[in-house]
């Protein structure tokens, strides 16, 4: 019985140590979440203004023939997926990876029909193990990413579409809803007809823009920047989702540890009470025998 009680005490101490770790991780994730939300919100005005400028120029162009605006038959598709570098995020990575894999299984029969651009170690390792065609990957993205951290992969993803190496580019990431809800989504990034030009008539510019030498030249420079900005905005949104998922997961782990400690403590107290009762019974029995 004593051996069993010592084992329970060791389990209680072990769970208490785990609880301290998960509680600390929950608090750190909460602090990082606030910063990530602020960064995502701060990036929106730039993206909105750039969209307004692109729409204004495109609306004044009779026949915009830039490759990023032209919808063509889909022979090959590019996918850019955003995951995290580390685990302990609940279903954050599994949900978005599952959504992409289901999409690939539904739309493609061969790996020659699509190409992957991956942000995050978890996604990269998952796709590598399965031999899927990864064109470019980026890992070790900091908690507060700058555009420079994802510039290379964003540039290549947009450039490959312009060069015709695939006919559409879709973005997969966890969209931040609130601290406890993150939804894996698919968004068509290229061609830009749904993001910019198709809304040119609906979006009214708040200013009149003068540009030179001509609209086509300006669009050729702005459209890739706009597409890269959309990718960066998605990365910031995904970071907020990542910390929200981690905070929720660590909060649940802390609650489970508390319940486990209570259960083990109750078991320990019952075992201790049983041991004391047994000792009293043995003493009484010994005294009775001597009498």
With respect to residue 84, please indicate whether it lies within any of the assigned structural domains: yes
Q: Are 78 and 189 in contact (CB under 8 A)?
A: no
Contact (Cβ atoms closer than 8 angstroms) between residue 92 and residue 241: yes
pLDDT, residue 51, reads 80
For residue 221, tell me if it sits in a domain.
yes
- 101-158 pLDDT tens trace: 999 999 999 999 999 999 999 999 999 999 999 999 999 999 999 999 999 999 999 9
Which burial class, exposed, middle or buried, applies to 127 when counting CB atoms under 10 A from its CB (0-12, 13-18, 19+)? buried
> Is the predicted pLDDT of residue 203 greater than 50, yes or no?
no
| Residue 11 placed within a domain | no
Does the CA dihedral 268-271-275-276 come out positive or negative? positive
What does pTM read for this prediction?
Answer: 0.84
Our CA angle for 76, 82, 87, nearest 5°, is 135
pLDDT band at 62 (very low <50, low <70, confident <90, very high): low
pLDDT tens, residue by residue, 90-102: 899 999 999 999 9
Q: Is 62 left (phi over 0), alpha (psi -120 to 50) or beta?
A: alpha
Tell me, yes or no, whether 56 lies in a domain.
Answer: yes
Judged against a pLDDT cut of 60, whether residue 211 lies above it is answered with: yes
The pLDDT of residue 217: 79
Q: Would you say residue 91 lies in a domain?
A: yes
pLDDT digits (tens, 9 = 90+) for 220-268: 888 888 889 999 999 999 999 999 999 999 999 999 999 999 999 998 8
Output the CA angle 201-203-209, nearest 5 degrees. 90
Quote the number of domains for the chain: 1
The CA distance from 160 to 142, in Å, is 26
Helices (H), the chain: 2-59, 92-107, 121-129, 147-162, 215-290
Domain interval for residue 128: 27-248
- Does 275 reside within a domain? no
* Residue 204 reports pLDDT greater than 60: no
198: domain CATH number is 3.40.1380.10
Residue 208 forms part of a structural domain: yes
φ, ψ for residue 244, nearest 5 deg: -65, -45
Is residue 266, in this structure, part of any structural domain at all?
no
H-helix segments, 121-214: 121-129, 147-162
For the record, the structure tokens of 214 come out as 């001509």
If you search the block for the tokens 């905005």, which residue do you land on?
233
Q: In Å, how far are 90, 151, 222, 285 from 57, measured between CA atoms? A: 44, 25, 10, 99
Is 172:186 a contact under the CB 8 Å cutoff?
yes
From 131, 125, 158, select the one nearest 224 (Cα to Cα): 158
Where is pLDDT greater, at 27 or 204?
27
């Amino acid at each position: 019985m004593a051996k069993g009680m010592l084992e329970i005490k060791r389990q209680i101490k072990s769970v208490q140590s785990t609880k301290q770790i998960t509680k600390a991780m929950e608090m750190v994730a909460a602090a990082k979440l606030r910063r990530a939300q602020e960064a995502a919100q701060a990036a929106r005005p730039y993206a909105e203004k750039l969209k307004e400028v692109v729409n204004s120029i495109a609306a004044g162009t009779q026949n915009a023939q830039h490759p990023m605006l032209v919808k063509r038959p889909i022979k090959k598709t590019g996918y850019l997926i955003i995951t995290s570098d580390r685990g302990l995020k609940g279903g954050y990575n599994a949900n978005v990876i599952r959504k992409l894999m289901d999409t690939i299984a539904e739309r493609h029969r061969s790996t020659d029909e699509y190409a992957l651009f991956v942000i995050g170690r978890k996604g990269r390792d998952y796709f590598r193990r399965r031999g899927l065609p990864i064109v470019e990957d980026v890992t070790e993205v900091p908690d507060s990413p700058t555009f420079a951290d994802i510039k290379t992969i964003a540039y290549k993803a947009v450039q490959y579409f312009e060069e015709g190496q695939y006919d559409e580019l879709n973005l997969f990431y966890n969209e931040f809803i609130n601290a406890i809800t993150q939804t894996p989504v698919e968004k068509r990034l290229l061609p830009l007809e749904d993001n910019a030009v198709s809304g040119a008539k609906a979006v009214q510019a708040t200013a009149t823009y003068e540009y030179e030498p001509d609209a086509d030249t300006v669009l050729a420079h702005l459209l890739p920047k706009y597409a890269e900005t959309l990718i960066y905005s998605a990365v910031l949104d995904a970071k907020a989702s990542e910390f929200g998922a981690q905070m929720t997961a660590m909060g649940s782990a802390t609650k489970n540890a508390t319940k486990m400690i209570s259960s083990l403590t109750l078991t320990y107290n019952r075992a201790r009470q049983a041991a004391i009762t047994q000792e009293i019974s043995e003493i009484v029995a010994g005294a009775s025998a001597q009498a």
